[in-house]
Chains A and B, each alone.
With several copies, the nearest count.
Chain A
Amino acid sequence: MVEPNREPIVDDVTQDRGVTEGGATATLTREDFVSDQEVRWCPGCGDYAIMAAVQGVMPELGIPREKMVWVSGIGCSSRFPYYMNTYGIHGIHGRAPAIATGVATARPDLSVWVVTGDGDGLSIGGNHLIHALRRNVNLKILMFNNQIYGLTKGQYSPTSEIGKVTKSTPFGSLEHPFNPVSIALGAEASFVARTLDVERKHLPEVLRRAAAHQGSAFIEIYQNCNIFNDGAFIALTGKEGRSANRIYLEHGKPIVFGANHEKGVRMTQEGRCEIVNVADVGEDKLLVHDEHRDDPSLAFALSRVADGPTGPTPLGIFRDVQRPVYGEGIEQQLRRASESQGPGDLEKLLATGDTWTVN
């Protein structure tokens, strides 16, 4: 009864108009993913660039729009689902990973994406985030990190730097920030990546990789809030910084960066990643990145190369390993149960146990 129970939901209704329509077989374009809703971000907001990248990549995935659900919390970033011509939930503050877990475990046939902010995802929503990652629910989680609370007009967030002066910290913040990649790895995440709103090529590529990953994918996207935290990522986006400070992680390749790849990352005996001049140590001594290492220690060490986006900062995929996917496990148990015990029979269920007959 599992199948009969679940399947109809999808089929009944899809039959009517034929799954193919706007479906996998029909090739979709960028525009197909643009909703009719008026976009309400501030002019110049980094969210625009991210949306463009997403809407550019979606058609490539060959997933029909109706099979896609975008879930978010509350925040400027969390308005995202309204702008996607897919199914979507603009949830409540911090709860997107939980709501999305419901969608993904109820309906493994869907492609479920989460958009959250540094406040939504790491402040009020931190617990749901780490548990979704731990369970390896099949969610693609995009965290727009602008290191500020945008929608509430500029208070510091869990990723704001110490000393930051904001509306709620006129004398400077006293809180040591989270390193989102570190906390995700500490939470057993099977896929962890970082990219930048202005990355025309890198961002889409990371999205593709996340989509391809089985299980939960966590992507930290540095996003400029030009109203309340303008220039937070200038070290990575500014002219010189751009080449000097972006450390692109590439699987199987030694980690080098700098205008002429003159800099590199080396692993010390005590398992710490340090930045070196390639010339000094020689290319062969450089750390070769391995996304697929089962042990997350390497990825974690890499996440500590930069505590904040103020100097050389690794971008790309820190970790991408296979783990059982939560929703699939549930499906299996359902299938096994109905195979072993036979599909659920209500009459039988009620009639078993401490029963007797009165005539």
Chain B
Amino acid sequence: MSQQAPPQEDATGRKELDRVVIRFAGDSGDGMQLTGDRFTSASAIFGNDLATFPDYPAEIRAPAGTLAGVSAFQVHFADFDILTPGDQPNVLVAMNPAALKAHLKDLLPGGLLIVNSDAFDERNLEKVGYSANPLTDGSLAGYQFFEIPMTKLTVEAVKGSGVNKKEAERSKNMLALGVICWMYGRPLEPTVAWLEKKFSKKPNIADANIAALKAGHAFGETAELSAYSVKPAVLAPGNYKRITGNQALAYGLIAASVQSKLPLFLGSYPITPASDILHELSRHKNFGVRTVQAEDEIAAAGMALGASFSGHIGVTTTSGPGLDLKSETIGLALSMELPMVIVDIQRGGPSTGLPTKTEQSDLLHAMYGRHGEAPLPIVASYSPSSCFWAAIEATRIALKFMTPVILLSDGYLANGAEPWRIPAIEKLPDLTVKFASQPNVGDDFWPYLRDDDTLARPWAIPGTPGLQHRLGGLEKADGTGNISYDADNHQLMTDLRQAKIKAIEEDIAPLEFDADDGATVLILGWGSTYGAIGAAVRRIRARGKKIARAHLRHLNPFPKNTEEVLRRFDKIVVPEMNMGQLSKLVRSEFLIPTININQVKGLPFRAGDLENRVLEIIDG
């Protein structure tokens, strides 16, 4: 770790570090998410690789100063390519006692601690049960510790910008940002520009924030806080964009619409952490994207189904509780064999659970959460930017095989940001579809006359003369699609529905794996554990141990070579943020034993924890 290695100095006399993990923590009202976001943006533009992890309470603004109200944002930036937002911060910015109390335990020994001393008054200390003031009782001895009277400084600094006291104090997060920007040599310009744009209608608010930002920067300089630098990372050349998972997912859906020349229709009902996809898509009407905020999730799915029947890419986005409600409609789409994309941004369950925390516990629900024999494909994103790929892939499968597809992401990917190398449009797959336009049996049109290869049925959309047909959820005769209660036909249709999904294995990329030769242990992952597993693998290799890893992006069907890959290794380790759901699928599918590493804490794995667990398995 950089803290250990004797740091170099760069030209400007700043100590060089290869990586830093900063956590901003304060009241829900303190604007920590925005502060972290701005610092991240500045670092991105500066050229670091980075990963972020916002962590905030389910309440909008729990009462000021309480533990329940603490909101935090962690950013990891480095001069090399990194995979996670970092396990523990080496810098903690705490805007009040609650923030300190909630997050100090994570700060690395000897780490840098910056607090807003103005917030450490009797009442606030009491609120979180500090008997003595930690700033003065010596309990912070183990850290490099700076107290800054941020509130006072801010009020001072913004005088003249003509904002009232309340607004003035609100700018203190910018002061904190200014301090950190100075310490890590980040330019202020991007933030200044952003503030001017954002508050163009309220210039005095803009001025106040800018003044505070600059004051913080100046303070850092005059107070001679230690100054560091983290060089730009050497990333593959190209255009980069900082993107969150939900944003990438929304872009992927738009891209799928453009590449298929089909309009995109989103039926959705707001729910954390999926709402931002609805928000993002409703901003791009010039792409012909229709977004409807439905009365509930059932309606949202129903609307998407109706749109799919009509020739649109019908999409519905939600989280666990909403997925429960959509099950029946998904079953109908499956029975009507309509292309539809269901996006589930997983969060902590069961029930309302932990709405703002992350989890991977909807896999088996996605797989089996419908009555009857109702198989459908499942695609999973594994990093914020991979959500772009996942959206296109899910749509591709839906359109090609005429089936609803479930896309699994999670809260960690949804809100986490990372630099994304913007793909070349030419490189995107062509998703053009051919609607049925002619009768396919003499003068008749049979909606269930299947394609020999894909077993997909033809898609004839309203407006097409002569192809009028009616579909529903009652069992249909293969071919004609007429209602049929025939016993053998039901068996046939059940077999066909299953065979169609199984056939998709021919159409998807094989499971890639990265193995040291002689490695006997394979870490098999899926979804958002990708980064943590990757970081753990690096550490394990850094210790000279042999290891292999593979990451599933298709959960149903599995890539065709999955069993072959698994059988190459003696031990299959499956880390999941659930109680072992992928492992259940692997075991029943291949009868291969697995060693499970499960964590259900609403938080992503720490690379360090994974490293240790896996080392035990390798050695033990």
Contact = CB atoms under 8 A, between A and B. Distances in A.
Interface in A3-41: 3-6, 8-10, 12-14, 16-19, 21-23, 35, 37-41
B310 A106 contact: yes
Nearest to A72: B472
Interface stretch (B112-120, B260-268, B505-513, B546-554): B260-268
B321 A93 contact: yes
Given A65-B468, A150-B60, A351-B422, 5 more contacts: A9-B435, A9-B463, A91-B472, A92-B352, A350-B241
Interface string A128-160: 100100000000000000000111110110100
A68 B463 CA distance: 8
A92 B59 contact: no
11 contacts: A5-B261, A89-B471, A91-B472, A92-B351, A98-B294, A128-B295, A155-B278, A168-B279, A351-B422, A353-B241, A356-B47
Interface residues of B, number: 105
B286 interface: yes
A214 interface: no
Contacts of B278: 155, 167-168
Contacts of B243: 353-354
B463 A127 contact: no
B239 A64 contact: no
A354 B45 contact: yes
Contacts of A243: none
Nearest to B466: A17
Contacts of B285: 2, 171, 333-334, 336-338
Contacts of B58: 151
B302 A128 contact: yes
B470 interface: yes
B87 interface: no
B237 interface: yes
A71 interface: yes
Given A124-B269, A124-B296, A344-B258, A105 B288 contact: no
B464 interface: yes
B74 to A, nearest CB: 18
Nearest to B275: A152
A131 B267 CA distance: 14
Given A91-B472, A128-B295, A342 B306 contact: no
Nearest to B41: A354
B140 interface: no
A14 B36 CA distance: 53
B465 A64 contact: yes
B472 A168 contact: no
A2 B263 CA distance: 8
A66 interface: yes
A126 interface: yes
A90 B463 contact: no
A269 to B, nearest CB: 37
Contacts, number: 342
Interface string B19-58: 0000000000100000000000100110100000000001
Interface in B221-279: 232, 235-243, 251, 254-255, 257-258, 261-263, 265, 267, 269-272, 275, 278-279
A182 interface: no
A18 B33 CA distance: 52
A356 B62 contact: no
Interface string A339-355: 01111101101110111
Contacts of A22: 465-466
B159 interface: no
Interface in B53-82: 58-64, 66, 68-69
Interface string B272-310: 100100110011111111111111111110111111111
Contacts of A82: 470, 472, 483
Given A13-B463, A91-B472, A102-B310, A74 B44 contact: no
A9 B461 CA distance: 8
Given A92-B328, A105-B292, A124-B269, A6 B469 contact: no
B423 interface: yes
